[in-house]
Amino acid sequence: MRIIIDINHPAHVHYFKNFSRIMHAKGHKILFVSRNKEMAHRLLNLYNIPFINRGKGKDGRIGKFLYLLYANLTLMKISSRFKPDLFLNFLHPYPSQVAKLLGKPSFVFSDTEHASLHHKLTVPFATKVFTPSCYRTDLGEKQVRFNGYMELAYLHPAYFTPDPEILDILGVQENEKYVIVRFVSWAAAHDFDHAGMTLQNKRKAVQALAKLAKVFITSEGELPPDLEKYRIRIPFDKMHDAIYYSSLLFGESATMASEAAVLGTPSIFMDNDGRGYTDEEEKKYGLVFNFTESEQDQQRAIEKAVSILEDEGSKHRYKNIREVLLSDCIDTTEFMVSEVLKYAH
């Protein structure tokens, strides 16, 4: 088979890197096309994955519409040369729209229910849309639910072994508590009308956490000087190791909250929309604690974070819960391979 994998966000590199490696080993040809967003290209280079650059993208509604036209045209040109048998991506419209025009199948993975614009622009053109079984939305006859999470495509023990060297890089002792705090930019299409934590509460959270543990902030945007001093400075590919050994992940990123959960690290996640998968990771496993962006919930989130850090036996308990989660869930990459191979000639 000849497969185009289109990358629209750095996380998508993680979703498909193991699939690509396995399919290459089986003799199939994979071509990555990637938007130049944050560190997507750096990750592709790190994993020695050749790719074609399709530009940076645009912000704002009009900018995103104009980029849609540009990206579709770019993918059409690439497809005319590569002649793919199938398109594969995580929820965004370009590959499925181009695949429909070319009469080719397209597989889309999604775990973000409130990305309604991307759903409207993608699902009608896709052949199949794969979602975790806990996905809140019914996407119709094209939807295929699987018992797992996107993060298990790369953080399943079959693919990920934590590297304790990260502790030396961070400058923490083996049993020393530390927290990773994640602030996002709220610039994605599904983030319009979101504000996240107030700066005042970000400061309050960091001050409260710093009394109980070392604090490392990872932020998409700029930070004021008093918070900038906490910014994490590690090789960009070592974040999952840092999450694994941390005592808590606190912040505004659903993906990182779920990454923490499947690694057995408790996480606090703040978002007005929430996600089906973080809901399940809370209700079924108690590994994620979900809060809205309201002032009251921001205060409750800080209080919950403090209580987790004050619980001396929590770290071992959460790692044991991870084993239960892993036994309940499938290997997402293995699932991808089996589904795609059904379309092999």
Q: What pLDDT, on a 0 to 100 scale, did the predictor assign at position 60?
A: 79
**Rounded CA separation 176/215 (Å):** 11
The residue with tokens 């993208």 is: 57
Q: Is 344 helix (H, G, I), strand (E, B) or coil?
A: coil
Closest of 154, 166, 179, 187 to residue 302, by C-alpha: 179
Q: CA angle, 223 as apex, 204 and 293 as ends, to 5°?
A: 50
pLDDT tens for each residue of 156-186: 999 999 999 999 999 999 889 999 999 986 4
CB atoms within 10 A of CB 307: 11
Instruction: Check whether 323 has a pLDDT greater than 80.
Output: yes
Q: What is the mean pLDDT of residues 99-111?
A: 97
- Residue 190 pLDDT level (bands cut at 50, 70, 90): very low
3-state secondary structure at position 241: helix
Whole-number pLDDT of residue 191: 41
pLDDT at position 344: 87
Sheet of 143-146: strand order equals 51-53, 29-34, 2-7, 86-90, 106-109, 128-132, 143-146
In this prediction, residue 143 has a pLDDT band, given cuts at 50, 70 and 90, of very high
H or E element in which residue 219 lies: strand 214-219
Mean pLDDT of the chain: 94
Distances (CA, A) of 118 to 50, 113, 152, 199, 243: 26, 10, 23, 30, 29
* pLDDT at site 129: 98
CATH number, domain 2-148+330-341: 3.40.50.2000
What are the CA-CA distances from residue 188 to residues 26, 83, 288, 306, 322 (Å)? 35, 31, 22, 30, 30
In total, the chain counts a number of residues equal to 345
CATH architecture of 165-328: 3-Layer(aba) Sandwich (3.40)
Indicate the pLDDT class of residue 279, thresholds 50, 70 and 90.
very high
pLDDT, tens digit (0-9, with 9 covering 90-100), for 209-218: 999 999 999 9
Q: Answer whether 2-148+330-341 and 165-328 agree in fold.
A: yes
**So what's the pLDDT on residue 57?**
75
Cβ atoms of residues 68 and 322 within 8 Å: no
Decide: 66 and 86 in contact? Cβ < 8 Å: no
Q: How sure is the predictor about 67, in pLDDT bands with cuts at 50, 70 and 90?
A: confident
Q: Where are the domains positioned within the chain?
A: 2-148+330-341, 165-328
Which DSSP string do the residues of 261-327 spell out, in sequence order? HHTT--EEEE-SS--HHHHHHHHTTS-EEEE-SSHHHHHHHHHHHHHHHH-TTHHHHHHHHHHHHHH
Predicted confidence (pLDDT) at residue 134 exceeds the cutoff of 50: yes
pLDDT exceeds cutoff 60 at 62:
yes
